Amino acid sequence: MDVLASRPVVIALAIAGAVLSTAASVLRARNRLGERGARNLNYAGYALMLASMILFVAAGFRGAPA
């Protein structure tokens, strides 16, 4: 759990989620991705950001630096 709640992992998950969500918007605007594909890519990005937030909170409860 300490490795998952470490600062680099939390930050990497947040950045990966943001990149996926941004890519979904950009690809949809350029008509390179359909509505369903963009929505799924956006959901994947939000899932990664949620995982990052959960690990950040878990690290706070455990007293580990995030």
Asked if residue 27 belongs to a domain, the reply is yes
Segment 2-54, tens digit of pLDDT: 677 789 999 999 999 999 999 999 999 999 999 999 999 999 999 999 999 99
| Number of domains observed in the structure of the chain | 1
**Does residue 15 form part of some domain?**
yes
**How far is it, in rounded angstroms, from Cα 38 to Cα 44?**
10
Within-domain flag for 2: no
- 65, pLDDT greater than 80: no
Q: How much is the pLDDT for 31? A: 96
Structural domain includes residue 37:
yes
pLDDT of residue 61: 87
pLDDT at residue 64 tops 80: no
Question: Containing domain of residue 43, as a range?
Answer: 7-62
